Chain A
Amino acid sequence: MFSWFANPHRFLMLSSWLAPLFYAAAALLIAWGFWQGLWMVPKDDYQGGDIMRVMFIHVPAAWLAMASYLGMAVMSFVWFIWRHEVADIAAKAIAPLGATWTALCLVTGAIWGKPTWGTWWQWDDARMMSVLFMFFLFLGYMALRAAMDTRQKAARAGAILAMVGALNVPLIKFSVDLFTSLHQDASVITAEGPKMAAVYLWPLLISSLGHSLLFAALVMTLMRAEIWTRRAAQIRARLMTGD
C-alpha cells in the first residue's frame, strides 16, 4: 500500500482534489463545532464557566499533538526501511504543523488553566508536561533537519531522531505520570474524559474531526510545495551543469 502512495506523481494527482475537499470539509466541521461550542452548549461552572469553551480548540489540539508525532514517526520508519521519498516529504511536512498544534494545545491549556487551577502553568499535570516535551521533540527534529546540508542527509538524520523520540515517548509519559502522581492533591482537575456530558461530546468529536481534516489538508499542501521545490531545484541544477 505504501508503495502505491510512494509515487510522487500519483501523490500530486491524488492530493490535487483531496486537499481542497479536506479544506472545505474542515471549514464546515470546525465552523459547526465552534458555533455549538461557543453558543449552543451550556457553560459548565465546575470547569471554570465560559472559559471551558476553549476546550473545543484544546482537545482537538491535544489529539493532533499526539497523532502528528505518531504520524511523523511512522513516516520516518517507512522512509528508513523502504526509502520512499514521499514518506520523507510527509514526515518533513508534519513537523512544523505538529509543532504548531502542540503549541496551540499548550497555550489553550494555559488559558484554561488560569481560571480553573489558578495558574497558567501546572507542573503537576502529566498531560501538560508530556505535551511540552513532545513540543521539544518537534523542535529538535526541525532544527536537526535544517542543520543538514543536503535533503538526503536531512531525511536520514530526521528519521533516526524521530524513531528514537517515538521509542522514548512512552517512557517520558510514564515518568511524568509517576512524577505528577506524587502531587495529586494540588491538582484541581478531576472531571474530564469519560465523565464528559454527552452535550459536549458531539461538538468535540466534530471539532476534532475538522481539525484533523485541516491538518491533513495542510500536510498535503506542504508536501505538494516540497515536491515542486525539489523538482525546481533539480531543473535548476540540470540547467547549471548543462546536463
Chain B
Amino acid sequence: MSAGSLLSAADIGMIRGERLLFRGVSLSLAPGEAIVLRGPNGAGKTTLLRILAGLTQAETGMIDRNVPHHWVAHRDGLKPHETPREHLTLWARAWGQPQTEIEPLLDKMGLSRPSDVPAKHLSAGQRRRTALARLHLENRPVWLLDEPLTALDADGKALLLDMISAHRTQGGGLIAALHGDPEFEIDMQVDI
C-alpha cells in the first residue's frame, strides 16, 4: 500500500453465520480522496465500514489505520433525553476537545433553534445533523460515513456536501456507503 495512505485494507473477507458476505476487498484511501461503497441491501456495506472502523472483526485480511477516524453510523448515537447541545458537549469532553466551538457549530449545522430539545422530540433530520456535527468536534483525517444523506433535507444535504469538500481540501479522506448516486466527486468505487 502507498506510504501516504490514511487507511488501507487488503483482502478483507467476511462471513456471517455460514454466509459469505464478501471477500477479497482491498482499498487504499489517500489524502483528499473519497471512496464510495456500493451494493444492494444486505450485501455488507455497513459491515465493511464497521470492519474499517475496527468495530467488527473481519474473517480475513489486514487493515492499516494510520490516522484517527470518525464513524457516523446509521444509528445516530443520541440518547433519547439528550439535547444536541448536551450531546456535543459530552463528546467534546470525552474526546478532550474545547467546548468553545459548540455554539458556532450548532449554528453552522442549523441546530440553534432545537439546541435544547431532547433527542426524542427531534426529527430524524435534526438527529442526523447532530451526529454529523460530531465530525467537527475533533479534527480527524478519516471519515467513515454510513448512508450519511439519509433523512437530510435539501439544506442538510448541501451542508454535508460542503463539509465533505472542505474536509477533502484540508487533506482529509472519506469512505461512505451510499444507496443513490454520489453527489460529490469520488476517486474509487468499491462494489460489494
Contact = CB atoms under 8 A, between A and B. Distances in A.
A236 B20 contact: no
B140 interface: no
Interface of B: 15-20
Nearest to B21: A241
Contacts of B20: 237-238, 241, 243
A118 to B, nearest CB: 53
A243 B16 CA distance: 15
Secondary structure call for the A interface: helix
Q: Which 7 A-B pairs have the closest CB atoms?
A: A233-B18, A150-B17, A237-B18, A234-B18, A237-B19, A150-B16, A243-B20
B119 to A, nearest CB: 28
A234 B20 CA distance: 9
Contacts of A238: 20
A151 interface: yes
B51 to A, nearest CB: 13
Contacts of B17: 149-152, 233, 237
A237 B19 CA distance: 6
Contacts of A233: 17-18
Nearest to B59: A152
Interface in A219-243: 230, 233-234, 236-238, 241, 243
Nearest to A151: B17
Given A237-B17, A237-B19, 4 more contacts: A151-B18, A152-B16, A237-B18, A241-B19
Most buried by A among B15, B17, B18, B19: B18
Interface in A192-223: none
